[in-house]
Chains A and B, each alone.
Chain A
Amino acid sequence: DQQVKQNSPSLSVQEGRISILNCDYTNSMFDYFLWYKKYPAEGPTFLISISSIKDKNEDGRFTVFLNKSAKHLSLHIVPSQPGDSAVYFCAARNSGGGADGLTFGKGTHLIIQP
Chain B
Amino acid sequence: KAGVTQTPRYLIKTRGQQVTLSCSPISGHRSVSWYQQTPGQGLQFLFEYFSETQRNKGNFPGRFSGRQFSNSRSEMNVSTLELGDSALYLCASSLQGVNEKLFFGSGTQLSVL
Contacts and interface: CB of A to CB of B under 8 A. Distances in A.
Given A43-B4, A43-B90, A102 B42 contact: no
A19 interface: no
Interface in B57-85: 57-58
Which size bracket describes the interface of A in this complex? 20 to 34
B101 interface: yes
A101 interface: yes
Contacts of B107: 42-43
Candidate in B41, B58, B98, B103 with the most chain A CB atoms within 10 angstroms: B98
Contact of A107 (B33, B35, B42, B105): B42
Interface residues of B, number: 25
A46 B102 contact: yes
A94 B106 CA distance: 26
Contact of B45 (A41, A89, A102): A102
Contacts of B33: 101
Given A43-B107, A102-B45, 9 more contacts: A34-B101, A43-B92, A43-B104, A43-B105, A43-B106, A100-B45, A101-B45, A101-B48, A104-B43
Interface of A: 32, 34, 36, 41-46, 49, 89, 91, 93-95, 97-107
Interface of B: 4, 6, 33, 35, 40-45, 48, 56-58, 90, 92, 98-99, 101-107
